[in-house]
């Protein structure tokens, strides 16, 4: 793993135990999955690339708009999920008919990869990318070297 990717993983791990708070992004105080990604971005890259609009927990699901996916494509580099590496960002679709609305950061690759994410009711945790989670992955991204 490159030093840069290790820095992303170490930064994400520093958020472990942060409580789940919708729309928050403060390590130790509260965050949601997007807030975790935003916090890691601030610590690794710098200033956030765009202001995040107020969003509901359903992430525009009733309208069927892939807002999170579109934002990820604007600021991250998409890559094939089969090439997933530690430090990459995973985008999940939580229901087959729903929009992609959950994010995690790959923390290790091995027989069973692991990822860090902020999960409602659990806070920031590190979990195995087990088959139920793996089936929900719809996209994989890398952080850019610097803000675009």
Q: Which residues pair with 141 in a beta bridge?
A: 78, 89
pLDDT of residue 62: 62
Q: What is the pTM of this model?
A: 0.93
Q: Is the pLDDT of residue 148 over 60?
A: no
The angle at the Cα of 140, spanning 108 to 145, to the nearest 5 degrees, equals 80
Residue 47's alpha-carbon distances to 11, 36, 132, in angstroms, are 16, 14, 34
pLDDT in tens, 101-119: 999 999 999 899 999 999 9
Q: Encode pLDDT of 3-27 as tens digits.
A: 999 999 999 999 999 999 999 999 9
* Domains of the chain (ranges, CATH numbers): 3-142 (3.90.1720.10)
């Amino acid at each position: 793993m490159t030093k840069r990717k290790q820095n992303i993983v170490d930064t994400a791990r520093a958020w472990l135990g942060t409580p789940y708070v919708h729309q928050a992004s403060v390590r130790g105080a509260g965050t949601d999955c997007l807030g975790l990604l935003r916090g890691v971005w601030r610590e690794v890259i710098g200033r956030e690339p765009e202001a995040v609009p107020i969003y509901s927990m359903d992430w525009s699901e009733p309208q069927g708009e892939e807002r999170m996916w579109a934002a990820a494509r604007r600021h991250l580099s998409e890559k094939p999920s089969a090439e997933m590496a530690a430090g990459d960002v995973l985008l999940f679709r939580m229901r087959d008919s729903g929009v992609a609305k959950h994010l995690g950061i790959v923390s290790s690759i091995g027989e069973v990869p692991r990822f860090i994410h902020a999960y409602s009711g659990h806070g920031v945790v590190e979990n195995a990318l087990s088959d139920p989670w793996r089936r929900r992955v719809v996209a994989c991204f890398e952080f850019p070297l610097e803000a675009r």
